[in-house]
Amino acid sequence: MANRPSTSTSPRDGDDAAHAEEDRQRIRELFTELEAAFAQADAARFDAPFAADVVFTAVDGARFAGWEALHAYHRDRLSTPTDAITTWYELEHIAFPAPDVAVVALRQPIEVAGSRRANVGTWTLIKRDGSWWVSAAQNTGVATP
């Protein structure tokens, strides 16, 4: 089909490429903040950018609907020391299918006691009042060489 649309170059209601790059930068900063919050085992800080009605699917397939359920999960997971775990996000692709919607494809390497694994994910973010919020996230564990 020659007329297949592209989500990576979606019209942004008159916004130019600089505006799209500003949004990409703010989204990268959101994930940098998630990394820092995880490193400090701070569930409240980690969950700060999640929307009230977030739907989050963890790597084990557990699904959490709503901020309170997700926060209870993260509070439990981060209540044990995380200093032996190093993780970060590698944003592979950010698309804007609508002006205030971003779809982020990412990889999340995780190092624990010298071994390494990774998750891949697809996260949907929404922009409200100038801020980006996580609306939905799906994470899948992958084998690493």
Q: What is the pLDDT of residues 37-58, one digit of tens each?
A: 999 999 999 999 999 999 999 9
Residue 12 has pLDDT above 60, yes or no: no
d(CA 49, CA 53) in angstroms, rounded, equals 12
Which stretches of 40-100 are DSSP H helices? 43-47, 67-77
Check pLDDT > 50 for residue 11. Answer: no
Residue 84: name the closest of 41, 47, 124 by CA.
Answer: 41
Confidence (pLDDT) at 85: 87
Beta bridge partners of 57: 63, 138
Evaluate if residue 139 carries a pLDDT over 50.
yes
Give the bridge partners for 93, in sequence order: 105
What's residue 33's pLDDT?
Answer: 98
Mean pLDDT (whole number) for 18-29: 91
Alpha-carbon distance of 27 to 61, in angstroms, equals 25
Q: Is the pLDDT of residue 29 over 90?
A: yes
Summarised one tens digit per residue, pLDDT across range 56-88 is: 999 999 999 999 999 999 999 898 766 688 899
